[in-house]
Homo-oligomer: A and B are copies of this chain.
Amino acid sequence: MSDIVRFKEHPSDTLKVGKGFSLKDTDPDSTPGYPGDKDDGEALLADLDDNLTLLQEQLFAESRFGSTKRLLLILQAMDTAGKGGIVTHVMGAMNPQGVQLKSFKAPTAEEKSYDFLWRIEKEVPAAGVVGVFDRSHYEDVLIHRVHRWADSKELERRYIAINEFEARQTASGTKILKVMLHISQDEQKERLLARLDDPAKLWKYSSNDLKERAFWNDYMDAYQKAFEKTGTETVPWYVVPANKKWYARIAVQQLLLDTLDGLKLQWPVPDLDVALERELVERS
């Protein structure tokens, strides 16, 4: 068995969107901070599964004793970027009992009749739970910006509303991790063709993906703008190069591990007389 190749620099540093960040200058093919190859990456992913499970169980356990800590992973990306793969291969290690996944589709008529954050608030994870948003309120400043469904004044209102919303969640114990999976336009083409060529993937193909693909540059601009407007000190954005699926997975896994580590989790100690309970169980 070969040694596990680990990150040299952590994604929480290298992938964080800071001042002067430019999405255009970010290479979707790159593997920042990681010296290994695909095989190394897959071995690392498997190796760290147990750590993730343990931290998640501690998060869940603490909530049973009054903690309001919780984690919300927000995943945004162009179609085929691999959001589903993150959910299956990274989140899959966690106990499903402590994971709450929500895929946001185009809003229903009812949802549209409310403010855009109405349907989002309802899906904030419960205390102790790791929530995952597959798409999110960011669609309201991404696709809405691209197709001009909202004018610039309304977009400004939404950026502010998003920051207030996320600050409020943070204040009530929710650690928010915002991730954009970044693929290139060429890579998307390959993946769309792969869907067309594989009977087990064909059902995922939608000609609508092609329509949105035509607005690629507008989407990149909208993402760049969203990062600038909603990337804050407490809730920064992370851009994960995702042309290499294996890299995107270990990067997100590491971001989750670092975030959970930062919560300083511990096993709760219930208020009970263990010796007495032992005695009672023995006699029962």
A residues whose Cβ falls under 8 Å from a Cβ of B:
53, 57, 61, 64-65, 84, 87-88, 91-93, 95-97, 99, 101, 103, 132, 134, 189, 192-193, 196, 199-200, 202-205, 207, 210, 213-214, 267-270, 272, 274, 277-278, 280-282, 284
Q: Does B277 lie within 8 Å of A196, measured CB to CB? A: yes
Chain B residues whose CB sits within 8 angstroms of the CB of A87 once the complex forms = 95-97
- Known contacts A202-B267, A267-B202, A267-B203; decide if A281 and B97 are in contact (CB<8 Å): no
Q: Please, which residues of chain B bring their CB within 8 A of the CB of A196? A: 274, 277-278, 281
The 8 closest A-B pairs by CB, nearest first: A61-B203, A203-B268, A192-B281, A88-B95, A199-B267, A96-B101, A196-B278, A196-B274
CA distance in complex: A196, B280 (Å):
11
Contact between A267 and B200, CB atoms less than 8 A apart: yes
A277 CA to B197 CA, complexed, in Å? 11
Partner of A91, one of B84, B96, B281: B96
Cα distance, A87 to B92, chains bound together (Å): 12
Q: Give the residues in chain B near A282, CB-CB below 8 Å.
A: 189, 193
Residues of B within 8 A of A277 (CB): 196, 205, 207, 210
Task: Check if B99 sits within 8 Å of A96, measured CB to CB.
Answer: yes
* Given A202-B270, A270-B205, A277-B196: A210 and B95 interface contact (C-beta under 8 Å): no
Residue A96 contacts which of B53, B96, B272 (CB distance < 8 angstroms)? B96
Q: A281 → chain B, closest Cβ, in Å?
A: 5
What B residues does A134 contact at CB under 8 A? 97
Cα separation A155 to B107 with both chains bound (whole Å): 43
Which residue of the partner chain, among B213, B214, B281, contacts A210 with CB atoms under 8 Å? B281
Q: Kindly list chain B residues whose C-beta atoms are within 8 Å of the C-beta of A210.
A: 277, 280-281, 284
Nearest-Cβ distance from residue A173 to partner chain B, whole angstroms:
18
- Some 27 contacts from A to B, beta carbons below 8 A apart, are A57-B200, A64-B203, A87-B95, A87-B97, A88-B96, A88-B97, A92-B95, A92-B96, A96-B101, A97-B134, A189-B282, A192-B281, A193-B278, A193-B281, A193-B282, A196-B277, A196-B281, A199-B269, A200-B267, A202-B268, A202-B269, A202-B270, A207-B277, A207-B280, A210-B280, A210-B281, A213-B284
**In the bound complex, CA of A169 to CA of B101 (Å):** 24
